[in-house]
Amino acid sequence: MQQLLESIGRLRILVIGDLMLDHYVWGDATRISPEAPVPVVNVERDTFTAGGAANVALNLRALGVAVDLVGTLGADSQGECLARVLAGHGLAVDAPLTSADRPTIVKTRVMCRSQQLCRLDREAAPPVYALPDAWLESALAERVARADAVILSDYAKGVVTTALIQRVQQLAGPERLVSLDPKPRPGLAFSGLGLITPNRSEALLLAQLQGAAAVDAFPAEEVCRRLHAEHATQLLVVTLGADGMLISRGGRVVQRVPTAARAVFDVSGAGDTVTAVLTAALAAGADAETAVQLANIAAGVVVAKLGTATASPEEILAHAQCI
């Protein structure tokens, strides 16, 4: 595992997707408001970190990966805050992709005694966040050409489209891994990707089995069969929360991997960690089973932390010794 992590640290990966600022309001509540039956939170502090595709990039940087990050930001105070967070980790977003024509996407979580009380979202409609056609024509090919792999981090906010996926696949060719963390929705189509990493509910939606109740056993074989028939993905890894992950190739379940989490405080961003580590490990030459094992351990590290988080090589190695 040490050798694999060292190989990962020598990679360059292109991340394209929906950039978000994660804002945490930390405080305590000791009384109910006289105005409505809701708790009154006494705010102690605010913290900010990267969310969405920006969190995928931070997870890669935590592993030592060189990252090119592509997304759209607003020319506002929230965008400046996210840019500072990224700069603190040696990351930047292309200046032409910052515009006053859109607000930066912000997810504000109110945390009371380490529990999430509510979440407040600030965002515009998805078309506002689409990548400019001129940039895609002039700069995308260069970014793909110098990358060892490409991650498409999709939160259905407007950056990842069918046309973008197809263009990236065309530029990447067969020699570069292209992975997608999908947010299923009408109009999004893809086929022949190297890796997709849906969670349980996303996999059910992609397989058109969304009627399956949350309490039902996950129909793994049927999901994998349908997803391969529809999307022809080389490798499918479904994250199942407390039930771990499953690996599928050719429409068949290859392996089920139990969770490596020993304690769970916050699952925010855990899917980003899985996508980042899986893609990096595969790009570094690991087989699917080893890559999933590494991603599973990294996810076990981040869910034991409060807030959107990352896992360093040292933390991953330490956690691996404890499971």
Q: Pairing state of beta strands 73-74 and 98-99?
A: parallel
Return the pLDDT at 195. Answer: 98
Where helices occur in the chain by DSSP H, the ranges are 2-8, 53-62, 77-87, 133-138, 140-145, 162-172, 200-206, 220-231, 270-283, 288-302, 313-320
Fold for domain 2-27+43-320?
Answer: UDP-N-acetylmuramoyl-L-alanine:D-glutamate ligase (3.40.1190)
Q: Pairing state of beta strands 177-181 and 195-196?
A: parallel
Q: How far apart are CA 293 and CA 278, in angstroms?
A: 9
Query: How many C-beta atoms lie closer than 10 Å to residue 199's C-beta?
Result: 19
Residue 53 has pLDDT above 80, yes or no: yes
Burial environment of residue 216 by CB neighbours within 10 A (0 to 12, 13 to 18, 19 or more):
exposed
Q: What is the pLDDT of residues 228-274, one digit of tens each?
A: 999 999 999 999 988 889 999 999 999 999 887 666 665 777 899 99
Residue 214 has pLDDT above 60, yes or no: no
Is the pTM above the cut of 0.85?
yes
Report domain extents, the chain. Answer: 2-27+43-320
The predicted model gives 94-115 an average pLDDT of 91
Annotation marks residue 272 as catalytic: yes
Tell me which of 18, 22, 154, 272 is the catalytic residue: 272
In the structure encoding, which two tokens stand for residue 159, read together? 């950056």
Q: Is the dihedral of CA 257, 268, 181, 316 positive or negative?
A: negative
Torsion angle of C-alpha atoms 235, 93, 57, 160, degrees rounded to 10: -30
